[in-house]
Chains A and B, each alone.
Chain A
Amino acid sequence: MARRAIPILKRLVQSSDNPVNVGLASRVDRTRSVTYMPRPGDGTPRAVTLIPGDGIGPLVTGAVEQVMAAMHAPVYFERYEIHGDMKSVPQEVMDSIKKNKVCLKGGLNTPVGGGVSSLNVQLRKELDLYASLVHCCNYPGLPTRHENVDIVVIRENTEGEYAGLEHEVVPGVVESLKVITKFCSERIAQYAFEYAYLNNRKKVTAVHKANIMKLADGLFLESCREVATKYPGIKYNEIIVDNCCMQLVAKPEQFDVMVTPNLYGNLVANTAAGIAGGTGVMPGGNVGADHAVFEQGASAGNVGNMKVLEQKKANPVALLLSSAMMLRHLRFPSFADRLESAVKRVISEGKNHTKDLGGNCTTQEVVDAVIAALD
């Protein structure tokens, strides 16, 4: 953990000296001076598990593969086919992810009411990917109704309402258990504050419904408050989830980092992604102590529908930006920067937008534009 923190901290210090770069998450950062001194051997190609997934998944992961090849990035992909209607994730895929530690995946479709438990949730629980992160911000060139949006939603990924413990008490009465534990709440709060600290964020907001679910969300809030005392430089406040959604729609600029339990995180992340430009654009990933799985940030529309699939007009931007996050996670910051600036340039030019952004391009056209924009 400290090993990974050192290059990031180095960059933080150096970028504060350099007037061009402002902070670690600088957006259009073309003139990065030499800041990263790799260890010998850091450039050997890394293996990354690739799961194309269902629906538009193969289309968008194909886009990432093309762009990576064009950049000659030091990653190579090990493909594994999984589909959402399988009973469980095959053992070979799990072994591959455990070996490579990093995975990139497209959406997996969970059939509604089909008695098949979600493979996405299974993957997260088995690999203990306890934090899900979605970064929602305005990209210049995207038409949105809201300005000044820059929200990171950090969502607890393993327990809460997604415990999957349901049973029928008597015919016509069904119970579902929502489980909140101090252990999981503490570690997600710790991750949120650590993220804020390492990325120079000023405020962490905890989202809850503790006026109704006093014990469950009360425990979550208690853990957040305890962790907040350890980071006195970061402001902490709490907001009830229905008020939070209303504020997101009215004044999104008041939010910075948000930490939430499982279900509220799903709603808040999708709402925040929607106001910032759509879920087809926002990057995100799931991270645990040992592994990381990168995918399209907010879950709505990550499988797409038949029309988008047939016309091949899926939006690859979200997965491209997530793969840039992945490259940074693998400690290839220069490649990550190049990819991110190319994608942002394509978005701001506005000539190659897919249907969900108001344009009419196919996925392939967007990929070609990104490859052309790489420097």
Chain B
Amino acid sequence: MASQIVRRVLRARASEICAAQSATNPNSARVFSCFDRSLSSAAASGSDLIRATLFPGDGIGPEIAESVKQVFKAADVPIEWEEHYVGQEVDPRTQSFLTWESLESVRRNKVGLKGPMATPIGKGHRSLNLTLRKELNLYANVRPCYSLPGYKTRYDDVNLITIRENTEGEYSGLEHQVVRGVVESLKIITRQASLRVAEYAFHYAKTHGRDRVSAIHKANIMQKTDGLFLKCCREVAEKYPEIKYEEVVIDNCCMMLVKNPALFDVLVMPNLYGDIISDLCAGLIGGLGLTPSCNIGEGGIALAEAVHGSAPDIAGKNLANPTALTLSAVTMLRHLELHDKADRIQNAILNTIAEGKYRTADLGGSSSTTDFTKAIIDHL
């Protein structure tokens, strides 16, 4: 009772602040009051410098992070980077190579950019991605996939966003051997997590002007689990009557995606299907080296990341392609509602690739990272 009053007062105060800025979405506040508060606080600080955490990562990470910093400086983006590196020893507070300070920095700044990190092999520590996911409660993975004009793949008209639930589902990691030769693996679906990701999907669709959300499922076979996911999606869909909602069985979805990807707009799915479908969509536009990705956490945290590997064989040789990390940084800007800057940088990258004069080795050209970066800056 008292907590509800406190929440209402805080929300009122937050909405006072955000009333001065452009509108954030008020009707998601009922379920996620902290989410709303953090959105408005992010929008409020649009005029002064925003602090963002940067994890350059390993391998080609530092070079492409440098690229991103140069592009942002040339575009006058009001972001101040706080760099953190993965440590050499296991930090006992986080049980991984990421230090407590790094995590605290992300929690404080609410936005971050992560380069590719190679998980060191060995025991006694958690994987880096798992640490980030659990500690920052990153519940949704957003991948906008659009065909890059000028980089020809077999598919020219891809323009979709995959939103994947990132915490539960088939990846709960709960397996055991019942008797010798029989293994069980648990898939968990909860109402809370499904509602959370469905809310984010519809909110994203609304703020980015998308008109359709499709929920992908296999509820004809897994009736209770995917059925619960669908029920939550339907509940949220009712709150957004202007956005069309449909449900597609996953085998139909796979087939339609490879035949005609223009049929889809925003896709929201549980963990396993999301993993497969988001990688399939990345394959449609040209691979992981060109795909941006952003992880959304509780409290409005957004950690954009490059999903490709750290490519140790070309590290330090000025050959890496900074497109994925730069496009991910653009999604971070969109989350911060700096849409005009985001559009400028995105158009610069697309024009550079479309022109075809400067392309890195993986796109079939022979430019270096620095040349490519300079070309993007010239196109701004």
Contact = CB atoms under 8 A, between A and B. Distances in A.
A161 B188 CA distance: 12
Interface of A: 110-115, 117-118, 121, 145-146, 161-162, 164, 166-168, 171-183, 209, 212-216, 218-219, 241-243, 245-250, 263-264, 266-267, 269-271, 273-275, 278-279, 298-301
Contacts of B258: 248-249, 271, 274-275
A273 to B, nearest CB: 7
Nearest to B220: A110
Main secondary structure of the interface of A (DSSP, over half): mixed
Interface in B251-275: 251-252, 254-259, 272, 275
A118 B221 contact: yes
B192 to A, nearest CB: 7
A298 B289 CA distance: 31
Nearest to A121: B221
Given A167-B224, A274-B259, A246 B282 contact: yes
Contacts of A164: 221
A279 B255 contact: yes
Given A145-B155, A179-B183, A166 B279 contact: no
A166 B223 contact: yes
Given A182-B181, A213-B185, A250-B283, A146 B251 contact: no
A303 to B, nearest CB: 11
A14 B375 CA distance: 63
Given A213-B170, A270-B251, A176 B224 contact: yes
A247 B288 CA distance: 11
Interface residues of B, number: 58
Given A172-B190, A248-B258, 6 more contacts: A175-B188, A178-B187, A219-B183, A242-B276, A245-B254, A245-B277
A245 B283 contact: yes
16 contacts: A146-B154, A161-B187, A171-B191, A175-B188, A177-B184, A177-B185, A178-B185, A212-B173, A213-B170, A245-B276, A247-B283, A250-B287, A263-B218, A267-B251, A269-B251, A270-B251
Nearest to B260: A274
Interface of B: 153-155, 170-171, 173, 175-177, 180-192, 217-228, 230, 247, 249-252, 254-259, 272, 275-280, 282-284, 287-288
Nearest to B252: A300
**Most chain A CB inside 10 Å of its own CB: which residue of B191, B247, B280:** B280
B255 A172 contact: no
B183 A216 contact: yes
Contacts of B276: 241-242, 245, 264, 267
A63 to B, nearest CB: 21
A173 B279 contact: no
Contact of A174 (B175, B228, B252, B259): B228
B141 to A, nearest CB: 12
Contacts of A273: 255
Contacts of B256: 274, 300
Contacts of B173: 212
B230 A176 contact: no
Contacts of B228: 172, 174
B136 to A, nearest CB: 19
B186 A177 contact: yes
A184 B27 CA distance: 50
